[in-house]
Amino acid sequence: MPVKKKSTSKKSNEKKSTNKKSTEHKQIKKDIKAAIEKIPGLIYEKVEFTESNLSQIPQQKLENSTPVDYETIKRKRLYVWLAVIGITILIFGMWLWNTRTFLQIAKNDSSEFVNTIKKDWQKINQEKDSELQKLIPEKVSDENLDQILKNSLIKTFNNLATSTSSTVSTTISL
């Protein structure tokens, strides 16, 4: 079977067309750059800088803008400050009134209040002492206390060792 050869003329035509496109593209880029460089000069040529043109610009801006009334601004600022000071004085007055009322109540009821606190404190201390007496029925010497502490620690560690999920049983003995 004969093998057909592809014509190389199409490839060369494609290369030539891409070369033409790239040269056209390069030329367009150069033209754009040249035009951009010429813009400031063209603007300068078209605008005439005379004193009459420069003096008309601020007048046009002043005609279009609204006049500023500085007296009104000062008056409004004064009203804001007066409102802030008034509210501050109101809060301070309410705080003083509340403090005075609290002190009067505390002065009249202080004996009852203090007595109630003393009674509650004594009651709590008595309950605490009775619970301690239940826990330690007799006086304990230092040697006896050491032995009690050792025994309670051993029990605690043994309980911890057995409550964990380990397969090894450990006991502590002193």
Which domain covers residue 74, as residue numbers?
Answer: 67-137
The pLDDT assigned to 91 comes to 97
> How far from 43 is each of 8, 38, 46, 156, 173, CA to CA, in Å?
53, 9, 5, 96, 103
Tens of pLDDT along the chain (174 residues) come to 566 655 555 555 555 566 777 888 889 999 999 989 888 877 777 776 544 555 555 555 555 667 778 899 999 999 999 999 999 999 999 999 999 888 887 777 666 767 788 888 888 888 888 777 776 656 666 677 778 888 888 888 887 777 655 555 555 555
Q: Is residue 160 part of a domain?
A: yes
61 and 36 inside one domain: yes
77 and 119 inside one domain: yes
